[in-house]
Structure 1
Amino acid sequence: MNKESIFRQLEQRIAGRALTAEALGEFNAMAIADSLKQKRSIISHHLNNLHREQRVVKVNGRPVLFLPVTVLRDHHRLAVRHGEYASIQALCADRQDSLAQLIGAQGSLQEALRQCKAAISYPGAGLPLLLRGPTGTGKSFLARQLWHYAIDEGILPADAPFTVFNCAEYANNPELLTSKLFGHAKGAFTGADKAVPGLIETSNGGVLFIDEVHRLPPEGQEKLFHFMDNGSWRRLGESADERSATVRLIFASTEDLEKHFLATFIRRIPVIVKILPIAERGQFERLAFYPPLFFRREAQRLNHDLALDGEIVSQLMRETLEGNVGGLENLIRNICASAWTFWRT
């Protein structure tokens, strides 16, 4: 039993648990040693090495708890700025800015995040925000993190909805696309046998993320910029008084703005942020994408320790990836599959 195996055990066991003393009571050296049928001295040695490597955090008490930093940061959104805490309560109080842990938050994304924070926190319904960048650069992930940020900062209530709509799924049916966004009245079109609210309505009080917005037809863009101007709209087929809602709008697109959008629509989006592809980020940021995100996942899938040598890292740094994060994940999976096949034979 080596320290990597112990670390994976910690990650797997803590998944889904509440951060309370009762739920985490078994994360001490003696309990871990008993469950793994190992000597306590061996487990303590490995846990202390993991602590020195800043991969686990200590929560002092009787007994001392050892918790994996990755899960605390990624799933519980804690900052974990210290190696030791006096209690679980002190650990939970060390919450992170939902955006501060993003790769590039202090580099290529610094100005973009400043603009995004300004847009999401602007009084009223915020400012409409458009995220531009190639496929796989993290636009959808950033939109969700902005929602978390708004809740953490008290800009939105804890139960504020986050709704995702991809225009590409309905690009060949403009009427249905418009209906999905704005809803429709009974009898508005063939098959509309009852009134149905749209996503604008069901997203009231929260965030609506509209992906591939360049696939929105001109009439849909017109209805949307009317909503951005007035906070009101009508369902498809309605002629009664307009409805109203307060919704923070985040759009995403991979395409050229002038070719795919009405000028009147773009003028109503005051914050347009470009997200750089991985290949255009600095070396430190590119390196940060690799082991933490995907190799750990493949190690868990294979139930086997993985070690990176310098040649593999150099190869990854040289790659120009199609699909960015998606392309990176496929490349790393390919590397792991080759290593796994070689190891088995």
Structure 2
Amino acid sequence: MHRKDRIFEALRSLCAQRPAQSSALRRHAGFSAEEVAELAEVDRTNASRDLNLLAQEGIIERIPGRPVLFTIKAPAQAARSADASDGHEKTHTGQAGLSGPLLAQKQDQPPSISASVHVGAVVTSFETLIGSNEGLKVAVQQAKAAIIYPPRGLHTLLCGPSGVGKTTFARLMHAFALELKALPPDAPFISFNCADYAGNPQLLMAHLFGVERGAYTGADRNREGLVEQAHRGILFLDEVHRLPPEGQEMLFYLMDRERFRRMGDVRERQASLLLLAATTEDPNTALLPTFSRRIPMTINVPGLNERTITERYELVRAFFTAECSSIGTNIHVAPQVLRALLLYECPGNIGQLRTDVQLTCARAYLEYRTRNLSELNVHTDVLPDHIRRGLLRTADFHRTLEPVLHQLEATHIFTPTGLSLDSIPGSTHDLYDSISTELTALRSSGLHADEINDLLHLDIQRYCQRFADTVTQERSDATPNIVDERILAISHSIVQFAEEQL
């Protein structure tokens, strides 16, 4: 059973155990991602992602609030949702991407309701990409459209600063093409960085288009180029702006006629391929107009500063999980370390973020081995200075951190199996012990006393607010059972009027 199916089954099981609620009490008829994750025995983050996908597909209902709740749709509601989707998002009709219980749920609907499935609902390798439904949603949809466009897809230019993951994105486009059978099963993915030979244009052209024996001194044999190797597949050219003008013209001819010539050869050869190119420069100034005009699809891959804080948090978790798998032992990551990694300035984008996590783990591993510690702890002392400075931005970016504040109260434990366990403190946690522990850790990190005071003040506020929110919610839930609703409504009106006057 697929993970998404398990998530759906867990939610359906929870809903079956709870009596049906009236529409007035619908807010309390759902279940949080944490409850579903516990029953399905999966990571909470993965459960949240799958639940949101199911809600987008119209299979379950998402109830906004704190926390967000999910529930199985009522039959009438599901029918309305299906009718609405038929009206504005009907790319193709069918049951693609649904399996097991999810498919059964669709088949249980009345025959008059057709299951409208958007291309994005098809289970693809893009679903493994962090941010595919957030900061990268537009880019992913463009990439899918470029791959499935008849007859053989659209040549595509990926634009974005260094380190945003353009090469990874191109590989996922290839994987998506294979899964949808838009390319043959053995279609190659040939990757080449034009910057590697930028200082020698002749060698670059030879590497790309191939060489006929005797074309130049030292060319003692015929050699096929990357264009021939990519036949019936994808050719990915990174830093394409480093390609000389004559090379861009030859690529233009290849895209236009599917023909090319090796260096030193007068005979034309045939090559049918999909070109994916990437650049960190402005294509309007860095590429020949005749070349850029032949690339109909341009996809902008956003930088790390354009991604949501939730995406950055998931990226950090993924990188720690990868390092944990490499090391082969559990990694305990302190909350302050996670906060610093979420807030520090990272101009090198995802590439730098991964390198910085690796460097941090290497420092912690050195301490773990040299001191013969029982646990591998990543604390603020092992952070490089440029990452530790991220803690100084906590006050300025407190609102930015709100979506992940609850997770940042935990020591994260990463295991070699890839599972991340969040040790969330319970309500019986001693506040004063927490302050003492944090004070010691922050002092050892070398921060100024005023900065330590500000950070601890924010922690105390957040700690108290968390319990205040809980008490407020409990009191709000209990009030209708004690006071008549009409009196309650009048009281709210009086309070609102008083607030406006004051």
Q: Using structure 2 for the length normalisation, give the TM-score.
A: 0.49
Paired AA for residue 163 in structure 1: I
Paired AA for residue 42 in structure 2: Q
Does 1:229 find its partner at 2:256? yes
CA contact 1:124–1:246 (8 Å) conserved in 2: no
1:246 to 272, 276, 282: 272
Larger radius of gyration: 2
The within-5 A match list for 1:15-34 is: none
Secondary structure of 2:130's counterpart equals coil
Paired AA for residue 304 in structure 1: T
Query: How big is each residue's C-alpha offset from its partner over 1:105-139, in whole Å with a ceiling of 9 and x where there is no partner?
Result: 11111111111112122223321101111121111
CA contact 2:152–2:182 (8 Å) conserved in 1: no
Deviation at 1:53, TM superposition (A): 4.0
Does 1:319 find its partner at 2:340? no
1:257 to 268, 283, 289: 283
Q: CA 1:118/1:338 → structure 2, altered by over 3 Å: closer, same or farther?
A: same
Q: Which moved more, 1:196-205 or 1:206-215?
A: 196-205
Deviation at 1:341, TM superposition (A): 4.5
Q: Distance in 1 between matches of 2:98 and 2:161?
A: 32
Q: CA 1:338/1:175 → structure 2, altered by over 3 Å: closer, same or farther?
A: closer
Secondary structure of 1:154's counterpart equals coil
Query: How big is each residue's C-alpha offset from its partner over 1:266-306, in whole Å with a ceiling of 9 and x where there is no partner?
Result: 111111111111122011111110112x2123223443322
Does 1:54 find its partner at 2:42? yes
Does 1:332 find its partner at 2:357? yes
Deviation at 1:81, TM superposition (A): 9.0
Q: CA 1:51/1:163 → structure 2, altered by over 3 Å: closer, same or farther?
A: farther
Identity %: 40
The within-5 A match list for 1:150-165 is: 150-165=177-192
2:229 corresponding residue in structure 1: 202
The within-5 A match list for 1:5-154 is: 52-55=40-43, 96-154=123-181
Q: Distance in 2 between matches of 1:256 and 1:104?
A: 24
Q: CA 1:121/1:81 → structure 2, altered by over 3 Å: closer, same or farther?
A: closer
2:304 corresponding residue in structure 1: 278
CA RMSD of aligned residues (A): 2.7
Paired AA for residue 300 in structure 2: K
Q: CA 1:334/1:192 → structure 2, altered by over 3 Å: closer, same or farther?
A: closer
Secondary structure of 1:108's counterpart equals coil
Secondary structure of 1:100's counterpart equals helix
CA contact 2:164–2:301 (8 Å) conserved in 1: yes
The within-5 A match list for 1:178-217 is: 178-217=205-244
Secondary structure of 2:351's counterpart equals helix
CA contact 1:128–1:269 (8 Å) conserved in 2: yes
Of structures 1 and 2, the one scoring higher in RCO (CA 8 A, sep 6+) is 1
Q: Distance in 1 between matches of 2:259 and 2:135?
A: 36
Secondary structure of 2:275's counterpart equals strand
Secondary structure of 1:328's counterpart equals helix
Paired AA for residue 147 in structure 1: H
CA contact 1:139–1:275 (8 Å) conserved in 2: yes
Deviation at 1:212, TM superposition (A): 0.8
CA contact 1:98–1:145 (8 Å) conserved in 2: yes
Q: CA 1:118/1:301 → structure 2, altered by over 3 Å: closer, same or farther?
A: closer
Equivalent pairs counted in the alignment come to 265
Q: CA 1:334/1:82 → structure 2, altered by over 3 Å: closer, same or farther?
A: farther
Q: Distance in 1 between matches of 2:100 and 2:306?
A: 32
Deviation at 1:55, TM superposition (A): 4.8
CA contact 1:279–1:286 (8 Å) conserved in 2: no
1:305 corresponding residue in structure 2: 330
* Structure 2 unaligned blocks of 5 or more: 1-36, 45-96, 102-121, 372-502
* Structure with the largest fraction of helix: 2
